Amino acid sequence: MSLEELLFSSYRTKFQVSSQASNIDDVLKYHNDLLDNCLKDCMLTNTELIKTVSKLMVVCVTFCNCIQVRDFTIFAHCHAVV
């Protein structure tokens, strides 16, 4: 199941339940429950996982920056020779 499907499924379920709310407090409770479920379902409550994913993202960005600099340097050198 994709992230989009997971979130939409949770939203749809909570929306159906919240339509039966009798006051604003009930709506807020259903909304908070939806947010909590989304965090749990997307594994955003696991701090070790978040740290690992963050480190991986830094590595990916660093790699992309190196590739861009290398490509620009090669491009500039080729045009300077011509």
- DSSP letters for 30-62: HHHHHHHHHHHHTTTT-HHHHHHHHHHHHHHHH
- Looking at the structure, tell me whether residues 10 and 38 fall in a common domain: yes
- Looking at the structure, tell me whether residues 61 and 24 fall in a common domain: no
- Looking at the structure, tell me whether residues 59 and 30 fall in a common domain: no
- Looking at the structure, tell me whether residues 55 and 35 fall in a common domain: no
pLDDT in tens, 13-67: 767 776 787 888 988 888 888 888 888 877 778 889 889 999 999 999 999 988 8
- Looking at the structure, tell me whether residues 41 and 58 fall in a common domain: no
- Looking at the structure, tell me whether residues 28 and 55 fall in a common domain: no
- Looking at the structure, tell me whether residues 14 and 50 fall in a common domain: no
- Looking at the structure, tell me whether residues 23 and 51 fall in a common domain: no
Please indicate, yes or no, whether the overall pTM of this predicted structure exceeds 0.95.
no
Tell me which residue has tokens 């050198």: 77
pLDDT in tens, 60-79: 999 998 888 877 776 666 66
The whole domain housing 76 covers: 46-82
